[in-house]
Structure 1
Amino acid sequence: MTYYNLWELVLTALRQIAQELIYLTPKIFTALIVFVIAFVFIRAINIVLRKVLKFAKLDRFFETLSGFSLPFSITSLLIFLADLGISLIALYVVLGLFLEAQYIHIVTGWLYYGARVISIVVITIFLFSIFGVVMNRIRFESRLRSYSLFIILLLVTAMLVDVTALSDQVKSALITGLSIGVGISVGVFAVWFFFHDYFDKLILSKAEVREEES
């Protein structure tokens, strides 16, 4: 390759880069405008929501209604969800500018999968937070506490199975088994909860009869 051919190759590459920049400049400018608008909307919505929710006093209302307070603020959670929604809208608009339909579909699938995983994490944290608060407020027997924790772990396991990369048949079998296990556990617990006094008296009476016979 001669020096002239190398120079022509460099000029061709620079020309293509310049053409790509000219083609992408309006999209980049539009994407910046979208991000700026999204940022302004997020700031405005945060201010409005904080004032409205501060007036509504949702945290105090929930604490009064339920008798216990959550380890996180409901106001902050709602504001975070609103910010997340605006950010996702802006992201989809920007992706629509730079990517084709099939790539947007792939990104949508990944975002959907990530949202499912995040939702499971949030639900798990929420369940264990509620469990911890209730256990601290109410005196439970160790067996009842272990049972409640066991049910929560079964529910979390069922949600985790749903987002794994297992086949549909395996997922269906596992979820069916977990559902049966939860159903049987709840049924046994209901029988014990409503009739344990009767069972205790029955066992004690039988024990007394055996002692008298002996």
Structure 2
Amino acid sequence: MKVSIEVEGSLWSYETIEANRCSPEAIPEEQRAGVVVAVDPSGAAGHDDLGADEIGIVIAARGVDGDGYILDDRSCREGPLIWGRRAVVAYHEYRADCIVAESNFGGEMVRATIQAADQNVPVRLVTASRGKAVRAEPISVRYAQGKIHHVGRFPKLEDQLCAFSASGYNGGGSPDHADAAIWALTHLFAADDGAGIIEFYRRAAEEQSRK
């Protein structure tokens, strides 16, 4: 059930997400060119810390077909020991290449939290040097092109995506699930970085000229 309404000028639409949804059988392990677990940490002390944002934990893959796939959403509101272990379990379960973690909240403490659960897990720290909307736009273009598929239904993630516009995030609280998904897909499409944002503004200019 949708708990939010698409904002004006939304970068995502429920219709686009639905049109490109697929079943788990659509991308078997041997068809996955890369898999990552992305973590968007928060300062939550535990499950009952209702004033804190959730820790976004999203698993995504890039297929040999070049498309992106959201495989799972393990986001939660838990203390560091629990969410660190949760991310590591997902890493092993999905045979991921690495865990990608946003470093602005805690820096090396994020890496230490994850590696406390398994010191052999490779962790790639990424820094949010650009605004949320700027990071989101290239990924939203790939959705619009039908190149990103949700393998199942992820209500909170999809509500948060549809609350993004070019001016920023317009939902309540933090887009923790969406941020994790965007980090995951950005990492998987790193070789193509920049192409999406150029296409986004080209399409926006065309739409404006037709008005």
Which of the pair is proportionally richer in helix?
Answer: 1
Q: Is TM more than 0.5 here?
A: no
TM-score by length of 2: 0.20
Give TM-score, length-normalised by structure 1: 0.20
Structure having the higher Rg: 1
